[in-house]
Amino acid sequence: MKKSLPCLFTLLLCSFFCNAIQAQELQDNSNLVQFSGITITADSLNPVPYAKIVDVGSHRGTNSDVNGYFSFVAHKKDTVVFTALGFKPASFIIPDTITKQRYSLIQLMTADTLTLAAAFIFPWPTLEDFKRAFVETKIPDDDLEIARKNLLAADIRMRAEEYPMDASMNYRNYIDNQTSKLYYFGQQQPFNIFNPFAWAKFIKAWKDGKFKSQQERLK
């Protein structure tokens, strides 16, 4: 009988602690709240995406999605802090008088205006680099200079030589050939190879460089 008393006392003590732990767990579970809601701007009621929501007591929390919605598990009487870039921090205490294990909140976020110091941006790191860039900078041609270059005689002549024949020029060439054939119809056409005037014209054109290639004329 004496040996069974310590065992009975041990069993009663274990039962007491187990009941106390279960009661504590039940009490803790009763304090859990599914805390959800949405973060919006106070002036335009637009969603505030990616806001940070943190429970101060447990240091747990979540972030709102692109539509400002959030949801996480918290406790009654917990203080929840809302922070977002460009907005003032806000806090909310979950009430302990709620009867359900869910609580929804529409948190208004007030815009925070920050005044930043003036920033000066320089395109060159040093004054010497600026001087070198100023001296070596190539100034583009204005409209008058562009027009003068386009009206150079050599350029106009080169473009004229490379310009293909249009319909009117082809028609004129065809008519000239037909006229020449009709003019010498029934007789032998003259050969310019024996014409001294044609040779004089050829020699003059050769001396003037009209038979040079385009690359040689550009040099």
Q: Which tokens sit at 71?
A: 């949801």
* Model pLDDT for residues 130-140, shown as the tens digit of each residue: 888 888 888 88
pLDDT of 54 strictly over 60: yes
Say which residue, 219 or 42, is predicted with more confidence: 42
CA 105, CA 33: separation in Å to the nearest integer?
A: 12
Q: Is 11 helix (H, G, I), strand (E, B) or coil?
A: helix
Handedness of CA 44, 45, 46, 51 (dihedral sign): positive
> Alpha helix locations (H) across the chain?
4-31, 127-136, 143-150, 153-162, 167-183, 196-207, 214-218
CA 159, CA 218: separation in Å to the nearest integer?
A: 12
Answering whether pTM is above 0.85, one says no
Do 74 and 80 meet the contact criterion of CB atoms below 8 Å apart?
yes
Q: Which tokens sit at 93?
A: 């205490």
Residue-range domain boundaries for the chain: 33-109, 127-218
The count of C-alpha atoms lying within 13 angstroms of the C-alpha of 202, restricted to the half-sphere facing its C-beta, is 8
CA 108, CA 84: separation in Å to the nearest integer?
A: 11
Q: Which tokens sit at 207?
A: 């001396």
Phi and psi at residue 108, in whole multiples of 5°?
A: -90, 130
| CATH architecture of residue range(s) 33-109 | Sandwich (2.60)
Q: Which tokens sit at 102?
A: 């869910």
Q: pLDDT-based confidence at 90, cuts 50/70/90?
A: very high
Q: pLDDT-based confidence at 17, cuts 50/70/90?
A: very low
* Model pLDDT for residues 95-154, shown as the tens digit of each residue: 988 888 889 999 999 998 877 888 888 888 888 888 888 888 888 888 888 888 888 877
pLDDT of 48 strictly over 90: yes
